[in-house]
Amino acid sequence: MTRIQLRAIVLISVFVVPVIVRSAGNYWMEAARSDSSLTELSIPGTHNSCALYEYYPGTAKCQDVSIRDQLNMGVQFLDIRLNYGGPKLLNAYHGYIDQKQTFDDLLTNTVQPFLKKNPSECVVMSIKEENSEQGYPQFSAAVNDYIQKYCPAMWYLGQEIPTVGQSRGKIVLLRRFQGDSGIDASEWPNNTTFRNRFLAVEDCYDNSSAETKWKAITENFTAARKSNLNRFYITFTSGYQKVLGIPRIPHIANIINPLLTQYLSTNTSGRYGIVPMDFVDAIKCQLVYQSVISGSPPDIISTWQLGGESKR
């Protein structure tokens, strides 16, 4: 990192953190107009949201804080990877690493209480099968059973992208498996960029260098700021670089995360879409969601007071 980049990070820490203390991330979405599309917002997210555990340092852990803390920071996109252990047993995994959280616990003790307490917000939940190969119909049926068991009215299961109003208080299902409910992302390929009717995704995670990854990130950011408002732009800032053939997550995160903070603090307005991150923090979350909240035309945003609470 250059001296200029380091100085920028220090300045961000000094001037942004006090704002975060006064402006809670757990109700930032209430400032958005209910009739705007969810795609018009910039939404902080986490990659492999449950990945807090690993056997060997740097190989599987992607986050430092629990999903409860992520939600309270302003994260409203969760990347959930579930292992099928039976019709009534779905556990969070990263690769073959058990992340010690059941889907049951995630829903009943974390996501649903958050939405009940913060009904202006939503959670876009990407669900993908991990380290099991049940596929359709077993895995799909298991997810649907959980949805039906745990407050189905709290889920948005439509196949079209919802408005902000339709999303409030709900889990919006982004389905990375074969099925009938939710926004279809089942064709999502690994380690690449792709587009379909609803999505424009940058998910290049196996990287030869941080520079290559950063180029892919900024290209998708530029497209999100200039392109179709009816499509979710999803830019994964996460990835790994192999060292002696072993994936090392911090080799990318330690370079990309400071660059991301600097980039977002410089480019403070405009839509970025969904931004899933490794090792998320409150500063980057606020920089993402405020890029639209504080910088968009009045037809998207109803009220917002920087440094204080929006009108409730």
CATH code for the domain of 113: 3.20.20.190
Residue 89 lies inside a defined structural domain of this protein: yes
Residue 113 lies inside a defined structural domain of this protein: yes
Name the nearest CA neighbour of 21 among 249, 296, 283: 283
Cα separation, 108 vs 113, in Å, equals 7
Q: What is the number of other CB atoms lying within 10 angstroms of the CB of residue 241? A: 21
Cα separation, 252 vs 216, in Å, equals 13
Residue 224 lies inside a defined structural domain of this protein: yes
Tokens at residue 99, please?
A: 């992340």
Identify any residues that bridge with 123 across adjacent strands, giving them in sequence order.
171
Cα separation, 27 vs 118, in Å, equals 6
Kindly compute the dihedral angle of the four CA atoms of residues 65, 238, 154, 309, in this order, to the nearest 10 degrees: 60
Residue 159 lies inside a defined structural domain of this protein: yes
Identify any residues that bridge with 45 across adjacent strands, giving them in sequence order.
77, 276
Residue 299 lies inside a defined structural domain of this protein: no
Q: What is the residue range of 254's domain?
A: 3-293
Q: What is the number of other CB atoms lying within 10 angstroms of the CB of residue 117? A: 12
Q: What residue type is 286 in one-letter code? A: Q
- Tens-digit pLDDT string for the chain (312 aa): 444 344 444 334 333 333 333 345 889 999 899 999 999 999 999 999 999 999 999 999 999 999 999 999 999 999 999 999 988 899 999 999 999 999 999 999 999 999 999 999 999 999 999 999 998 999 999 999 999 987 899 999 999 999 999 999 999 999 999 999 999 999 999 999 999 999 999 999 999 999 999 999 999 999 999 887 889 999 999 999 999 999 999 999 999 999 999 999 999 999 999 999 999 999 999 999 999 875 554 455 544 333 333 333
Total number of domains in the chain: 1
Residue 309 lies inside a defined structural domain of this protein: no
Identify any residues that bridge with 276 across adjacent strands, giving them in sequence order.
45
